[in-house]
Amino acid sequence: MAQEVKIQYEPVAEIGGGAYGTVYKARDLQSGKFVALKNVRVQTNEDGLPLSTLREVALLKRLEQFEHPNVVRLMDVCAIMKTDRETKVTLVFEHVDQDLRTYLEKAPPPGLPAENIKSLMKQFLSGLDFLHSNCVVHRDLKPENILVTSRGQVKLADFGLARIYSCQMALTPVVVTLWYRAPEVLLQSTYATPVDMWSVGCIFAEMYRRKPLFCGNSEIDQLCKIFDMIGLPPEEDWPTDVTIPYGTFSPKSPAPVESYVPDMDNLAARLLLDLLMFNPRKRISAFDALHHLYFKDQDENA
């Protein structure tokens, strides 16, 4: 199996490294096309690969049959046994040259035109609605996991890998950014698809600002920064299954959106506030966000 990986995929350059191992740009020697190789180390049980990993990979392969235009393609999976307790899994994805972080950095001042942001958001939400309708919660949305092709096509990456990765977190001492995490995750409450919608809101604001919206350095600091903007929520919205009491935070009123994102028009600001609802049950879904008034003029021109 190890030989197959080396023979079929020839690494060309290292294109990223982080919490979950190294990513390589490689050439598929059979097709001649570039691919992205992502190596993930997973802990194994006595039967080999953990069932959770097999389930996640099977789900990614099943989603592949739909070939959604805003979801990065998983092209191959190769597993190499390393030790009795650990297996290296190589995931082979289609290669896209840049992520949203790079795309935003490349935009000349004063930044992306509002219509470009609207197009990116529509595609972003379309990919996410597809994942959510197939019961996949991304759980780690950030600009580095949103790829943008040279033609401006958005493709979501690293979805469905969160549980595989949480296995690896025990193996690697890493710091994962809190900046895009929903309040329920910061509070260590239960969560579902709305966690992704919070991240969408943070990224939406960042497309205008060209810098992150909330840059906390701890869970509490992150929550304080969030409440500075959206205000302290009513006590009845505070989750009951958390150890951080409501009284930890002082009362705050919401700040006007324009003080954080000056270039947003009214409809964009309304969508942003729908995405940044503290209570996940009140937060807008990807499906409903796609039908928000913010996109109305784009729908009419389609």
User: Which residues on neighbouring strands pair with residue 291, listed in sequence order?
Assistant: none
Q: Tell me the catalytic residues.
A: 140
The three-point CA angle 261-264-267 to 5° equals 130
CA 216 – CA 19 distance, rounded (Å): 19
Nearest to 233 by CA among 181, 286, 276, 288: 276
| Measured distance CA(126)–CA(134) in Å, rounded | 13
Six-digit token string for 73: 């393609």
Longest dimension (CA), the chain: 61
Q: Name the phi and psi angles at 115, rounded to 5.
A: -70, -35
- Spatial contact of 285 and 197, defined as CB atoms under 8 Å apart: yes
Please, where are the H alpha helices in the chain?
Answer: 2-8, 51-64, 100-106, 114-133, 162-169, 183-186, 194-209, 219-230, 266-275, 286-290, 296-301
